Amino acid sequence: MRFSVMTLFPEMIESSMNSSITGRALENNLISLDVYNIRDYSLDKHKKVDDYPYGGGAGMLMFPQPIYDCYKAIEERINAGDSSGKKPRVIYLSPKGKIFNQAMAKELSQEDDLIFLCGHYEGIDQRVLDTIVTDEVSIGDYVLTGGELPALVMMDTISRLVPGVLNNEESSQDESHSAGLLEYPQYTRPAEWMGKKVPDVLVSGNHALIAKWRMEQSLEVTKKNRPDMFEKYINSQQG
Ligand code: ADE
């Protein structure tokens, strides 16, 4: 998996991706990351990337030229190492997009290349979006100051689905959202802490009972926190 990111804040992307599990995955060449500063592609003598919107309104819009030239540079670089001629997906992060979820992450993790376009200010001229973007994606119903955090959220989620990125393959099997239910509670030592004991069943050694208890707990937490998911799960079991 090779991520290419178009941004005005490359250090935001680099510092986060170079940390923790994604950092280790980059070091081990399980994923790779190329970050492009859109401003470097501006032909304006002051390296301007934004302008006033036609028709008036608040704020500034990023204009097409630097974004398109940046995209062409990425496309050329990808095509140099890949003769398939397949067009890579270009994901534009925007509160207007389709909502990101685990199923989308799984689907995107099958790609060889993903390009992320991070907008700033009030947005991006629609013509360049219409020309290069294949997927417009939102990470939730709230508005951030730019696309960098959403791109990081997506790359983090996708990276951990790439084989070898998590050292224990099991750990992405049983977790929240993978089977349409939220994960059951987990406990480690000590067996008693601040007067609270670990549930007896977990120390019983009876694996069938443990599995049953975990399923019940998953159903309970899903019903309480995510009634929408719970209903969908119950319907899928009856179908
Ligand atoms: N840019 C600003 N808000 C966003 C959101 N919720 N998702 C994706 N990109 C965004």
Mean pLDDT of 49-68: 96
Atom 4 of ligand 1, residue of closest alpha carbon = 95
CB 32 within 8 A of CB 3: yes
Instruction: Quote the ligand 1 centre to 94 CA distance (angstroms).
Output: 4
Structure confidence at residue 168 as a pLDDT band (50, 70, 90)? confident
Q: Whole-number mean pLDDT of the chain?
A: 95
Statement: residue 193 has pLDDT above 60: yes
The closest-lying atom of ligand 1 relative to the alpha carbon of residue 139 is: 7
Mean pLDDT of 124-133: 98
Statement: residue 233 has pLDDT above 70: yes
Structure confidence at residue 85 as a pLDDT band (50, 70, 90)? confident
In the CATH scheme, what is the code of domain 2-159?
Answer: 3.40.1280.10
The residues of the chain that CATH labels 3.40.1280.10 are 2-159
The residues of the chain that CATH labels 1.10.1270.20 are 180-238
Statement: residue 83 has pLDDT above 80: no
Mean pLDDT of 109-114: 97
Statement: residue 73 has pLDDT above 60: yes
Cβ-defined contacts of 53-61 (< 8 Å, 24+)? 53/122, 57/122, 58/122, 59/121, 59/122, 60/121, 60/122, 61/121, 61/122, 61/123, 61/124, 61/125
pLDDT at 196: 98
Tell me, which fold does domain 180-238 have in CATH? Trp Operon Repressor; Chain A (1.10.1270)
Structure confidence at residue 169 as a pLDDT band (50, 70, 90)? low
Burial 176-212 (b: 16+ CB within 10 A, else e): bbeebbbbbeeeeeeeeeeeeebeeebeeeeeeebee
Structure confidence at residue 215 as a pLDDT band (50, 70, 90)? very high
Instruction: Quote the ligand 1 centre to 10 CA distance (angstroms).
Output: 17
Closest C-alpha to 100, from 44, 154, 63: 154
What are the pLDDT digits (tens) for 37-47?
Answer: 999 999 999 99
What are the pLDDT digits (tens) for 1-25?
Answer: 999 999 999 999 999 999 999 999 9
Instruction: Quote the ligand 1 centre to 199 CA distance (angstroms).
Output: 40
Is the distance from the beta carbon of residue 93 to the nearest atom of ligand 1 less than 6 Å?
Answer: yes
pLDDT at 14: 98
pLDDT at 177: 86
Structure confidence at residue 172 as a pLDDT band (50, 70, 90)? low
pLDDT at 176: 84
Statement: residue 152 has pLDDT above 90: yes
